[in-house]
Amino acid sequence: MMKGKLVWGLLAVMVFSVAPAGLSYGQVHSGVHPVPAVVKQVIKAFDNPEGAIFSADGRFVFISNAAEIGPNRAPSFAWTEGEGYISKLEVLPSGELKMVNDKLITGLTAPLGMGVIPVGTRRFPKGTIFACVGSAPLRDGRGNVIQERSRLQTKFLAFNEDGRILGEISTGPGSVFEEITGSPIILINALGFDKSGNLYVADTAFGGDQFVPPFEPKGGIWMIPVGALDDLADGKRPMEKPMFVPIPGNPDGVEVSPIDGKVYVNTVGPVAGAPDPAGGGIYALSISDFGAGRLPAPLDRDMGALDGLDFTSGGTMLNTQIRGDIPHRLYVNCPGKTGTTLEVNPTGSWADLTGPADVAVRRLPDGSHLVVVPELFARDSTPGDDEVTVLALPPGFDEACRR
């Protein structure tokens, strides 16, 4: 049973944007992907799970527990300072997940999206996991709004599969990111790596107005060259500076396609009534776009409010939709086609889905895929019972895109 509508940003109630005249979200994306997914498992053991990632070898899954403060301590949505953590689960031969350590890393603020670096650097071995932590909006454990600018400590936290911290990269006040745009990264939401190890991260940019004086939001996508990672972790000015492309509509999910190598970003603004000219859109950027600071036109649009984004091995994109006035769902975006809804068996399973966030996708040896779907139960006052749903996509799922 649904625990309540997802609340985002600093809003105490849900506010919705309006689709372009003459269109409704159902009309624009009414199709259903011909190959359904099957629910393999629902695990109720988390506290506002927001991100999921497979280890480099696929043996483990890591879940970020974002620890939203809940209505018993605060009247509006906020991450709780220092109460977030990361869980570690084992992938069994059946494809189901088994908890290994529910609190592998603790004491975090708002751990959200994660990614695995595919190459090694001086500081970070191949397979190191990077997590986005420290985001606004945030409150302390008693529910007080945090106004001190110095307590916004957004960063990348790098750790290995055993939970050992290997380093961190500040993206908050005083960082090179603030020097470049005039604002630190405020809501460091999701990240992805390309094959060379360059890192891409979305700043959703909600929450800066809680600080005194407020931070000016600069929503967009950052590209951090792989050659800059070690210097940034050492607190040095990198020779290769990060590059930034502004994106309207509050970018949220980001991932690099395994097929064309482009960086795909989606927008979540409509869930909080934020202006979004794409109405929940998907963009694809090349390296040259970052060099020019240029944003191409959206590939798809008017999809609601898009949160998580990932790809199958064949290049089929999955996006999660979290607007509360239309069904929560996963979209299937076949290359060059309009997004369709992923049907899930047993029929009606999406009725219980609340806030599907940063999904993780992994191909299995038999050609099927596992899809791990964290469900961000916002405004839930009972930590430890929120859900992660595991889906199976059968062999041939990607081939359906070419029909």
Secondary structure (H, E, C), the chain? CCCCCCCCCCCCCCCCCCCCCCCCHHHHCCCECCCCEEEEEEEEEECCEEEEEECCCCCEEEEEECCECCCCCCCCCCEECCCEEEEEEEECCCCCEEEEEEEEEEEECCCCCEEECCCCCCCCCCCCEEEEECCCCEECCCCCECCCHHHCCCEEEEECCCCCEEEEEECCCCCHHHHHHCCCCCCEEEEEECCCCCEEEEECCCCHHHCCCCCCCCCEEEEECHHHHHHHHCCCCCCCCCEEEECCCCEEEEEECCCCCCEEEEECHHHHCCCCCCCCCEEEECHHHHHHCCCCCCCECCCCCEEEEEECCCCCEEEEECCCCCCCEEEEECCCCCCEECCEECCCHHHHCCCECECEEEECCCCCEEEEEEECCCCCCCCCCEEEEEEEECCCCHHHHHC
pLDDT at 143: 97
pLDDT for position 80: 97
Dihedral angle sign, alpha carbons of residues 374, 233, 83, 211: negative
Q: Residues 85-105: what's their mean pLDDT?
A: 97
pLDDT tens across 55-66, in order?
Answer: 999 999 999 999
Q: Mean pLDDT throughout 86-105?
A: 97
pLDDT of 23 over the 60 cut: no
Confidence label for 27 from pLDDT (cuts 50, 70 and 90): low
Q: Look at the alpha carbons of 376, 185, 215, 296 in this order and tell me if their dihedral is positive or negative.
A: negative
Q: Is residue 350 pLDDT above 70, yes or no?
A: no
pLDDT in tens, 195-241: 999 999 999 999 999 999 999 999 999 999 999 999 999 999 999 99
- Inform me whether the pLDDT recorded for 354 exceeds 90: no
Q: What was the pLDDT predicted at 19?
A: 37
Query: Mean pLDDT of all residues in the chain?
Result: 91
- What per-residue confidence (pLDDT) applies to 10? 32
pTM higher than the cut 0.85: yes
Write down the pLDDT at residue 349: 62
Reply yes or no on whether the pLDDT at 4 is more than 50: no
Q: Over range 340-362, report the average pLDDT.
A: 84
Q: What is the pLDDT of residue 381?
A: 81
d(CA 359, CA 253): 9
Q: CA–CA separation, 139 vs 294, rounded Å?
A: 35
On the question of pLDDT at 46 being above 60, the answer is yes
pLDDT digits (tens, 9 = 90+) for 232-285: 999 999 999 999 999 999 999 999 999 999 999 999 988 877 899 999 999 999
Instruction: Report whether pLDDT(352) > 80.
Output: no
- What are 310's strand-pairing partners? 318
293 pLDDT higher than 70: yes
Q: What angle do CA 49, 401, 295 make, to 5 degrees?
A: 65
- Taking only the tens place, the pLDDT of each residue in 127-146 is 999 999 999 999 999 999 99
The listed CATH number (1.10.10.60, 3.40.50.1100, 1.10.760.10, 2.120.10.30) that belongs to domain 25-402: 2.120.10.30
Q: So what's the pLDDT on residue 216?
A: 96
Do 124 and 193 form a contact (C-beta atoms < 8 A)? Answer: no
- pLDDT bracket for residue 347 (50, 70, 90): low
Chain-centre distance for alpha carbon 279: 18
